[in-house]
């Protein structure tokens, strides 16, 4: 059933999302060309400046647009499918609510990942055109990649293990971060639609604005406190107790702590949504 | 005697504290019956259907469908038509047919396509381009094209023209099998009366009066429509 649910969730968002993806990829070509070819084309620096900035500006605008659009499409799909009249169909299907929710989380995550991929690919396209500093070849060629591999060959085995450990942690964080964003968005929509009897969208937007202010107010002091604590620790123990690899352990465990926090937040938000869908469903 | 299709045992539901919509509500549906669930506005008809469909959670009591306690599992046996259009407006009628076919193992595509043809509805049409009445017809066609055990139709003919009502009612009678039951709620009692086997008048969250439609008509010498007007006269 998950496969079927995911198919419909994916199709519904993809119908509009692909247009934005193609636009971003399409605009990356003139943006890349703008750096080099237009320089040859327009001898007048003023005209070249306008052309360069138009092409590059349009590209970055499209990148911003796809980031916002993905969030909006994922949120709209979740809201309409669960809390509008469509909910009458969704919740009378012979499918467990946990499966319905998991399908939405999966599709949200997939679209965030696809958006990131589109942005990375479009930047790579620009990299193909932009020359590396002081070199005749472009930023992204086989030569550059070969040099990169050569650097890795010189790294000792122990350090490679560290790199693998860090890479794994970064991958986990890269998976958990969009997951937390998706679940946070879904939680606010669910709470807004559960609490409000009529103006559910307004309630959701109100919760989003309120939670943003609240999180900013909470996160800024926490981050500052952690920064101060780390700074104090660095001064206290520098050159005395911690060797080269002790620092590596310190950062590794700090990342693990962040991963554990993100995973706990995911589980908590998932449970909140599931609880609301099971017991507090409030269709119009 | 065969197992009841639906048993509601001492159901309670209130939206606000102290204002019960359903109050210790007992209701049993035997197989092969078409039941009219009738009552004035706000008496709890739609709430009851939503509880059976799993869209609401009862405050107390228990619902059993085909011997199974209400859950996602029982949705396999229930074909529910809510009182409002619930299809995705971004889909076409064809896509809705595919959707039903994928999620309901008991969906009969041939029946659905025949009924669409009979009512002159183009399966290629987008749901958003259909009129309100046509949307209701499409919904009813899809709901009645399932081989379900229990059909629950909330105001199925409220938004359609009188000519289509006859077709819809004949569809309801023609499409359900002898092992299945149909619960219909409506205010248009005179229209659905000919197809009803049983009726239940609901009032203030309880069954006020119920029985066999023919027997009641013979006993009182009145149609159910006349009896309803008399019982619920303002």
Write out pLDDT tens, residues A107-140: 998 999 899 999 989 888 887 776 654 555 555 6
Q: Indicate the residue among A154, A169, A204 that finishes a domain.
A: A154
Least confidently predicted of A31-35, A179-183, B68-72: A31-35
pLDDT at residue A18 tops 90: yes
Taking the C-alpha atoms of residue B66 and residue B149, their distance in angstroms, rounded to an integer, is 8
**Dihedral (Cα; B4, B8, B9, B14), 10-degree rounding:** 180
pLDDT of residue A73: 92
CA distances from A214 to A60, A179, A186, A188, A221 (A): 30, 20, 18, 13, 12
User: Which of B55, B57, B75 is facing A94, going by the closest CB pair?
Assistant: B75
Taking the C-alpha atoms of residue B89 and residue A11, their distance in angstroms, rounded to an integer, is 14
Residues A20 and A140 in one domain: yes
pLDDT of residue A125: 83
pLDDT at residue A106 tops 70: yes
Cβ neighbours for B72, distance < 8 A, ≥ 6 positions apart: A93, A94, A95, A96, A97, B54
**Residue B149 tokens, joined:** 């055990």
Higher pLDDT, B192 or B100: B100
**Residue A149 tokens, joined:** 């591999």
Q: Indicate the residue among A99, A120, A154 that finishes a domain.
A: A154
User: Is A235 within the bounds of a domain?
Assistant: yes
- State mean pLDDT over A214-235: 80
Identify the residue among A1, A10, A94, A279 best suited for mutation to test binding to B, counting B beta carbons within 10 A and taking the highest: A94
- State mean pLDDT over A26-45: 70
Residues A142 and A257 in one domain: no
The model's confidence at residue A141, banded by pLDDT at 50, 70 and 90, is: low
| Chain segment B8-36, per-residue pLDDT in tens | 888 888 887 777 888 888 888 888 888 99
- State mean pLDDT over B204-233: 84
User: Is A27 within the bounds of a domain?
Assistant: yes
pLDDT of residue A284: 67
Residues A143 and A178 in one domain: no
User: Is A7 within the bounds of a domain?
Assistant: no
Binary contact (A88, B87; C-beta < 8 A): no
Average pLDDT of every residue of chain B: 85
Binary contact (A281, B57; C-beta < 8 A): yes
Q: How many CB atoms lie within 10 A of CB B121?
A: 17
Q: What is the CA radius of gyration of chain A?
A: 24
Residues A220 and A94 in one domain: no
Residues A21 and A145 in one domain: yes
Kindly list the residues from chain A whose CB atom is less than 8 angstroms away from the CB atom of residue B75.
92-95
The model's confidence at residue B183, banded by pLDDT at 50, 70 and 90, is: very high
CA distances from B84 to A182, A221, B159 (A): 30, 49, 10
pLDDT of residue A130: 67
Higher pLDDT, A77 or A201: A77
Residues A87 and A132 in one domain: yes
Strand partners, B37: B185, B200
Name the residue of chain B whose CA is nearest to A85's CA: B86
From B53's Cα to the closest Cα of chain A, the distance in A is 6
Higher pLDDT, A64 or A55: A64
Kindly list the residues from chain A whose CB atom is less than 8 angstroms away from the CB atom of residue B132.
none
Kindly list the residues from chain A whose CB atom is less than 8 angstroms away from the CB atom of residue B84.
85, 88, 284
Name the residue of chain B whose CA is nearest to A95's CA: B72
Q: How many CB atoms lie within 10 A of CB B123?
A: 15
Residues A283 and A258 in one domain: yes
> Is the domain covering B6-231 a CATH 3.40.50.300 domain?
yes
Residues A140 and A188 in one domain: no
Average pLDDT of every residue of chain A: 82
Least confidently predicted of A220-224, B110-114, B135-139, B163-167: B163-167
User: Is A5 within the bounds of a domain?
Assistant: no
User: Is A204 within the bounds of a domain?
Assistant: yes
User: Is A3 within the bounds of a domain?
Assistant: no
Q: For residue A166, give its domain range.
A: 155-284
CA distances from A105 to A2, A179, A203, B31 (A): 11, 7, 22, 40
Binary contact (B57, A278; C-beta < 8 A): yes
User: Which of A85, A88, A94 is facing B103, going by the closest CB pair?
Assistant: A94
Nearest to B10 by CA among B20, B1, A26, A101: B20
Q: How many CB atoms lie within 10 A of CB A263?
A: 15
Binary contact (A4, B88; C-beta < 8 A): no
User: Is A228 within the bounds of a domain?
Assistant: yes
Residues A18 and A142 in one domain: yes
Which burial class, exposed, middle or buried, applies to A98 when counting CB atoms under 10 A from its CB (0-12, 13-18, 19+)? middle
User: Is A6 within the bounds of a domain?
Assistant: no
pLDDT of residue A157: 75
Name the residue of chain B whose CA is nearest to A2's CA: B103
The model's confidence at residue A30, banded by pLDDT at 50, 70 and 90, is: confident
pLDDT of residue B78: 92
Place of tokens 């379900």: B148
Residues A19 and A150 in one domain: yes
Taking the C-alpha atoms of residue B147 and residue B167, their distance in angstroms, rounded to an integer, is 19
Taking the C-alpha atoms of residue B103 and residue B201, their distance in angstroms, rounded to an integer, is 34
Give all strands of the β-sheet with B60-65 in edge-to-edge order: B19-29, B6-16, B60-65, B68-69
Residues of B with CB under 8 A from a CB of A: 50, 53-57, 72-73, 75-76, 78, 80, 82, 84-88, 90, 99, 102-104
Residues A147 and A239 in one domain: no
Binary contact (A4, B86; C-beta < 8 A): no
Interchain CB contacts (distance < 8 Å): A and B: 57
The model's confidence at residue A100, banded by pLDDT at 50, 70 and 90, is: very high
Taking the C-alpha atoms of residue A163 and residue A157, their distance in angstroms, rounded to an integer, is 10
Residues A179 and A105 in one domain: no
Q: Indicate the residue among A154, A174, A195 that finishes a domain.
A: A154
């Amino acid at each position: 059933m998950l496969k079927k649910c995911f198919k419909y969730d994916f199709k519904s968002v993809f119908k509009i999302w692909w247009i934005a993806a193609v636009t971003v990829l399409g605009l990356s070509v003139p943006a890349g060309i703008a750096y080099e070819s237009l320089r040859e084309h327009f001898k007048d620096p003023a005209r070249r400046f306008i052309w360069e900035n138009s092409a590059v500006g349009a590209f970055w605008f499209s990148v911003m647009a796809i980031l916002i659009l993905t969030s909006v499409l994922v949120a709209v799909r979740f809201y309409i499918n669960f809390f509008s009249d469509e909910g009458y169909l969704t919740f009378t299907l012979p499918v467990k609510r946990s499966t319905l929710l998991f399908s939405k989380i999966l599709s949200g995550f997939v679209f965030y990942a696809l958006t990131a991929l589109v942005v990375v690919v479009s930047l790579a396209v620009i990299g193909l055109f932009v020359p590396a500093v002081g070199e005749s070849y472009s930023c992204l060629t086989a030569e550059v990649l070969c040099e990169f591999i050569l650097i890795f060959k010189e790294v000792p085995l122990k350090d490679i293990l560290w790199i693998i450990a860090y890479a794994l942690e970064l991958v986990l964080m890269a998976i958990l971060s969009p997951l937390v964003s998706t679940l946070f968005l879904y939680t606010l929509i669910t709470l807004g639609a559960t609490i409000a009897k009529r103006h559910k969208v307004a309630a959701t937007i109100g919760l989003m604005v309120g939670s943003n202010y609240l999180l900013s107010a909470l996160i800024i002091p926490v981050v500052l406190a952690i920064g101060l604590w780390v700074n104090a620790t660095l001064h206290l123990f520098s050159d005395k107790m911690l060797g080269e690899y002790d620092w590596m352990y310190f950062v590794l465990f700090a990342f693990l702590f962040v991963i554990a926090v993100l995973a706990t937040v995911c589980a908590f938000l998932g449970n909140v949504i599931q609880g609301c869908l099971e017991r507090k469903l409030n269709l119009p | 005697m065969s197992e009841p299709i639906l048993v509601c045992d001492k159901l309670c539901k209130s939206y606000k504290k102290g204002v019960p919509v359903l109050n210790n509500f007992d209701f049993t549906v035997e197989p092969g019956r078409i039941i009219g669930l009738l009552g004035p506005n706000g008496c709890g008809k739609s709430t009851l259907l939503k509880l059976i469909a799993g869209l609401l959670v009862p405050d107390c009591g228990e619902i059993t469908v085909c011997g199974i306690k209400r859950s996602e599992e029982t949705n396999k046996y229930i074909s529910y038509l809510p009182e409002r259009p619930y299809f995705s407006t971004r889909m076409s009628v064809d896509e809705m047919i595919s959707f039903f076919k994928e999620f309901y193992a008991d969906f009969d595509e041939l029946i659905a396509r025949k009924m669409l043809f009979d009512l002159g509805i183009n399966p290629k049409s987008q749901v958003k381009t259909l009129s309100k009445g046509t949307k209701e017809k499409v919904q009813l066609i899809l709901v009645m094209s399932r081989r379900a055990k229990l059909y629950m139709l909330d105001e199925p003919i409220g938004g359609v023209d009188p000519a289509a009502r006859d077709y819809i009612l004949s569809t309801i009678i023609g499409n359900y099998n002898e092992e299945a039951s149909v619960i219909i709620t409506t205010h248009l009692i005179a229209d659905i009366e000919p197809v009803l086997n049983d009726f239940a008048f609901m009032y203030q969250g309880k069954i006020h009066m119920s029985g066999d439609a023919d027997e009641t008509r013979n006993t009182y010498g009145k149609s159910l429509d006349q009896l309803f007007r008399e019982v619920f006269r303002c």
